[in-house]
């Protein structure tokens, strides 16, 4: 079975035998599924009767996958299984993002009784709290690349910058000032959320995942970087669905 997880910027394709270790590729979500499958075949040949599992947060891109893959070969994880495994008060229940669900499922399975703050740093950033055997709720922030790009789009004189950033406390060029502002905005937002959530649940550990997480780990003392958290949750979700 090939897992397909569609994010706003990147789509992950992955294969696993044990649900813990993944062979995966990350490609632009904008590419057509036919093209993505050709790229995948450079990693691992597809079987004649290969099964696929699809989840994601971009309805249009997911529709393209449904139209491309043979109908009998495509599974989608069930909301009811998530609701049973992760008690929550999110409304409406189906609106909670697929990526957030996967990260919560993996966290709840690995740490059922310990509180966890799950930070997923992708196109957008989510900070979700698993504690007392429930998803307590969370926060959605713009992502880092998106924030830098928004300054460029909304002004006449600010340039578009690339990650990674070198950061000074006070910038003395336009680029350094933007980098300092964006870097400190996120450091303070993440550390602030962690401090508040740990005020509610003092045992809460911090789990970091997503494309931009490696950049941030050093700034968040005691945090754990778990690269495949989403895929681990997706895999486990499918196992319990069938």
Ligand X SMILES: Nc1ncnc2c1ncn2[C@@H]1O[C@H](COP(=O)(O)OP(=O)(O)OP(=O)(O)O)[C@@H](O)[C@H]1O
Binding residues: 5-12, 90, 97-100, 120, 123, 174
Q: Enter the tokens of residue 134.
A: 């429930």
Site residues for ligand X, window 125-154 (CB under 6 A)? 143-145
Cross-strand pairs, 120: 126, 209
- Are 140 and 154 within 8 A, CB to CB? no
Q: 3-state DSSP call for residue 1? A: coil
Of 86 and 178, nearer to ligand PAU (C-beta) is 86
Rank residues 9 and 240 by Cβ distance to ligand PAU and give the closer one: 9
Confirm whether 99 is a catalytic residue. Answer: yes
Q: Which element (helix H / strand E) includes 131?
A: strand 124-131
CB 14 within 8 A of CB 7: no
CB contact at 8 A, 75 and 95: no
**Stretch touching ligand X by CB under 6 A, among 43-51, 81-89, 206-214, 231-239:** 206-214
Closer by beta carbon to ligand X, 152 or else 201 = 152
Radius of gyration (C-alpha) of the chain in whole angstroms: 19
Write out the binding residues for ligand X, residues 24-43 only, by CB under 6 A. Answer: none
What residues line the site for ligand PAU (CB under 6 A)? 8, 57, 95-97, 99-100, 122, 124, 126, 140
Annotated catalytic sites, by residue? Answer: 99
- Residues in the site for ligand X, rule: CB under 6 A? 7-10, 57, 99, 122-124, 143-145, 163, 210-212
């Amino acid at each position: 079975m090939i897992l397909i997880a569609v994010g706003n910027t990147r789509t992950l394709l992955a294969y696993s035998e044990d649900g813990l270790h993944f062979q995966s590729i990350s490609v632009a979500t904008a590419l057509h599924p036919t093209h993505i499958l050709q790229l995948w075949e450079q990693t691992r040949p597809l079987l004649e009767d290969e099964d696929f599992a699809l989840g994601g947060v971009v309805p249009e891109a997911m529709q393209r996958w449904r139209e491309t893959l043979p109908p009998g070969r495509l599974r989608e994880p069930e909301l009811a299984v998530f609701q049973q495994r992760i008690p929550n008060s999110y409304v409406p229940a189906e609106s909670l993002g697929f990526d957030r669900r996967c990260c919560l499922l993996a966290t709840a399975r690995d740490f059922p009784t310990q509180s966890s703050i799950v930070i997923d740093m992708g196109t957008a950033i989510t900070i979700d709290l698993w504690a007392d055997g429930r998803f307590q709720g969370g926060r959605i922030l713009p992502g880092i690349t998106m924030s830098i790009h928004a300054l460029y789009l909304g002004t006449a004189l600010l340039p578009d910058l690339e990650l990674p950033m070198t950061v000074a406390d006070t910038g003395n060029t336009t680029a350094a000032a933007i980098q300092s502002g964006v870097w400190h905005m996120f450091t303070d937002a993440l550390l602030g959320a962690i401090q508040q959530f740990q005020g509610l649940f003092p045992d809460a550990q911090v789990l970091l995942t997503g494309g931009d997480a490696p950049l941030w780990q050093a700034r968040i003392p005691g945090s754990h970087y778990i690269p495949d958290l989403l895929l681990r949750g997706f895999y486990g979700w499918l196992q319990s669905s069938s």
